[in-house]
Amino acid sequence: MTKDECKQVVLDIIADIAPDEDLSNVKPDVRLRDQLQLDSMDFLDIVMELRKRHGIEVPEADYQQLASLDSCAEYLTPKFVALGK
Amino acid sequence: MSLSTARIVITGVGLTAPNGDSLPEFRRHLLAGVGGVSRTEVHYMGEQLAGVCRYDALKWQKKKEVRVGTRAGSISIYCAREALADSGVVWDTVAKDRVGIYIGITEHGNVETENEIYNISKFNYDTKFWSHYHNPRTVANNPAGEASLNLGVTGPAYTIGAACAAGNMGLIHAAQMLRLGEVDFALCGGVSESIHTFGIFAGFKSQNALATHPDPLKASRPFDLARNGIVISEGGCLYALERLEDAQRRGAKIYAEIAGWHVNSDASDYVLPNPTRQAECVRAALARARLAPRDIHIVNTHATATPLGDIQECEAIRAVFGEGCPDTSINNTKSFIGHCMGAAGALELAGNLPSFDDLTVHPTINVDNLDPQCALPGLVLNQPRQVAKADTILNNSFGMLGINSTLIVRRFVA
């Protein structure tokens, strides 16, 4: 999986958990919470959906790695690759 | 006039029923004999008869609110918003800390708990897949709490658990709170999401109390000789309630005045009704309203179409109303919409309110062969009845563990 594909995985999850949001212009280097209406429960949703859909665990200590699309890609891509995806 | 004797009036109605999403639509269908029972898929049980509501949740909620919240919360929001709109109150000018939301529920949390168990069953019952929304979804105040969030109400917002007597209880409690001066404006009634829990269906089925019929629209048939149980339905109905002074000050349309009520308990059985206590409940409500049985023009029954329950309620009604009430018509709304559980009392009252204007009593439908034990004088069967007088409605709602509620409303006269 490439980093761009990883970003798309995260965007697909956000599309489901924040269905009122326009995701067409999400800036990858800006914190997601600074550009979308996302609260702490929504971030728990992202963690849950990564677990359910992709078998990826994000420990609480690493939640900050999900701050932006870029940081998501940096953090998650190796996890996907490690799973052979 | 002191608060404790203040007259309490209904100034708005918001509802969703299996056969209508507004009072005019609901009433039109009740007079035209249009029911709302259909079939729905239930976990583990396949297709079941049920009353399904088809309101537009996105009229008053964002998609995310619908996703995060519960069906009962969504129904509450829809009904509360519709009642507010109907009341004509200028919401921006209302002190939100003086608004109360009181919502009757039969149960809450079954749907969400069952859904989560179903969800983790797909993950070998590993609880790390259990939703972090489970607790806010299942707390008993959830339906009222979701409405408070949506409306920005900062006054008291909670539910009243009273089995299938709950719809009346929401109204009764609101009237009490208005008279205590706890709030100045109330949104109150009842809601139900019960068709989304297999447990309610399975429980009634195990009790041999779940209706069956090849035609869904004929399945709910209180007082019919061939009745064979309950059709479970979802729904909601919330009212705007105010003290008369406040309603008049803002020139509100007044649907009806709360005339009297009573709540009691059978203290006799988990599920079997007790006609003696039901009759006591009706008599006590009449006494509070200072009305005699013959003064009641419409009695809306609770009857759910169980073989025994209908007979027992008829026994209670016969004991109170007997033969000396020539102006009393008796009907049943569940024959159209099934049993809306926590919403039943509130919805069934709403369906009758327009009688004050159109002098028509909606019928009990689906009665092909009237059970002689249910042959009450004044029963309105299958076709609406024009009446000379419609000034009072007595609404019964009873529930498991023997909770009984009777609410009486009267035509408003200044």
Q: What is the pLDDT of residues B53-77, one digit of tens each?
A: 999 999 999 999 999 999 999 999 9
Both B228 and B265 in a single domain?
A: no
- Residue B413 is assigned to a structural domain of this protein: no
Q: What is the CATH number of the domain that holds A13?
A: 1.10.1200.10
With beta carbons under 8 A apart, name residues in chain B contacting A19.
Answer: 63-64, 67
* Shared-domain flag, residues B199 and B117: yes
What does pTM read for this prediction?
0.97
Question: Quick one: B208 and B274 in the same domain?
Answer: no
Counting one residue from chain A and one from chain B, the pairs whose CB atoms sit within 8 A come to 22
Percent of chain A that is helix, strand, coil (3-state, to 5): 65, 0, 35
Q: Which residues of B touch A52 (CB under 8 A)?
A: 123, 129
B209 and B279 fall within a common domain: no
Q: Is B121 exposed, middle or buried (0-12, 13-18, 19+ CB in 10 A)?
A: exposed
| Judgement on whether residues B36 and B104 belong to the same structural domain of the protein | yes
Q: Is residue B293 part of a domain?
A: yes
Split at pLDDT 50, 70, 90, the class of B323 is: confident
Instruction: Tell me how close the Cα of A54 comes to any Cα of chain B, in angstroms.
Output: 13
- Exposed (0-12), middle (13-18) or buried (19+): which is B271, by Cβ within 10 Å? middle
pLDDT at B2: 79
* Cβ–Cβ gap B129/A17 under 8 Å: no
Report B:122-161 residues touching A (Cβ under 8 A). 123, 128-129, 131-133
- Distance (Å, whole) CA B386 – CA B355: 9
- Residue B46 has a pLDDT of 97
CA distance B112 to B120: 12
Calculate how close chain A gets to B102, using CA atoms only, in Å: 27
For chain B, what is the radius of gyration of the CA atoms?
Answer: 20
Residue B69: per-residue pLDDT:
98
CA dihedral over B94, B412, B294, B378, signed as positive or negative: negative
Place of tokens 């797909």: B122
Name which of A18, A19, A41 is nearest B133 (Cβ-Cβ). Answer: A41
| Count of domains observed in chain A | 1
Count of domains in chain B? 2
Express each pLDDT in B174-183 by its tens digit.
999 999 999 9
Q: Please spell the DSSP secondary structure of B52-96, one letter per residue.
A: -----GGGTS-HHHHHHS-HHHHHHHHHHHHHHHHHT--GGGS-G
- In terms of domains, do B52 and B80 share one? yes
Average pLDDT over residues B383-403: 97
Question: How far is A22 from chain B, CA to nearest CA, in Å?
Answer: 13
Q: For residues B142 and A18, what is the distance between their CA atoms, to the nearest angstrom?
A: 21
Q: How confident is the model at residue B150 (pLDDT cuts 50, 70, 90)?
A: very high
Q: How many angstroms away from the CA of B105 is the closest CA of chain A?
A: 27
The parent domain of residue B379 ranges over 260-408
Q: Which of B249, B272, B301 is the last residue of a domain?
A: B249
Does B139 map to a domain? yes
Asked whether residue B2 is assigned to any structural domain, the reply reads no
Name the domain boundary from B215, B249, B283. Answer: B249
Q: Are B270 and B241 found together in one domain?
A: no
CB B10 within 8 A of CB B189: no
A18 touches chain B (CB under 8 A): yes
Residue B1 has pLDDT above 80, yes or no: no
Query: Nearest-CA neighbor of B259 among B1, B5, B2, B3?
Result: B5
Q: Known catalytic residues of B?
A: 164, 302, 339
- Residue B311 lies inside a defined structural domain of this protein: yes
Q: What is the model's pLDDT at position B282?
A: 98
* Contact check, Cβ <8 Å, B64/A20: yes
> B363 falls in which pLDDT band (50, 70, 90)?
very high
pLDDT at B51 over 90: yes
B414 lies in some domain: no
**Cα dist. B131→A49, B70, B127, B325 in Å?**
10, 13, 9, 56
Query: Which residues does B24 contact at the CB level (< 8 Å), separation at least 6?
Result: none
Tell me whether residues B128 and A19 touch, CB distance under 8 A: no
Cβ B133–A51 below 8 Å, yes or no? Answer: no
**How many Å apart are CA B163 and CA B403, to the nearest integer?**
7
Give yes or no: residues B200 and B310 share one domain.
no
Kindly state whether residues B70 and B111 are assigned to the same domain: yes
- B74 plus B215 within the same structural domain: yes
Q: Which one of B132, B134, B135 would you mutate to disrupt binding with A, by most A Cβ within 10 Å of its Cβ?
A: B132
Residue B132: list chain A partners with CB under 8 A: 41, 44-45, 48
Q: What is the pLDDT of residue B300?
A: 98
> ipTM surpassing 0.85, yes or no?
yes
Mean of per-residue pLDDT scores for chain B: 97
Residue numbers of chain A with a pLDDT score lower than 70: none
For residues B292 and B323, the model is more confident at: B292
The reply to whether residue B129 touches residue A48, judged by beta carbons under 8 angstroms, is: yes
Sign of CA dihedral B348, B187, B134, A55: positive
B129/A20 CB distance under 8 A: no
Last residue in a domain, options B249, B280, B308: B249
The confidence score (pLDDT) of residue B3 equals 84
Pairing state between β B256-265 and B403-410: antiparallel
CATH number at B275 reads 3.40.47.10
Region of residue B181 (phi > 0: left; psi between -120 and 50: alpha; otherwise: beta): left
Query: pLDDT digit string (tens) for B203-256?
Result: 999 999 999 999 999 999 999 999 999 999 999 999 999 999 999 999 999 999
Q: Would the CB atoms of A19 and B64 count as touching at under 8 Å?
A: yes
B361, B346 contact by CB (below 8 A): no
B68 touches chain A (CB under 8 A): yes
Percentage of the residues of chain B whose pLDDT score is greater than 90: 98
Nearest to B244 by CA among B228, B259, B264: B259
Q: How far apart are CA A17 and CA A15, in angstroms?
A: 6
Instruction: State whether B276 and B154 are in the same domain.
Output: no
Determine which of A40, A48, A54 to mutate to test the interface with B (most B C-beta atoms within 10 Å).
Answer: A48
Residues B217 and B281 in one domain: no
- Between the two ends of chain B, the Cα-to-Cα distance in Å is 14
The range of the structural domain enclosing residue A20 comes to 3-82
The answer to whether B67 contacts A51, with C-beta atoms less than 8 Å apart, is no
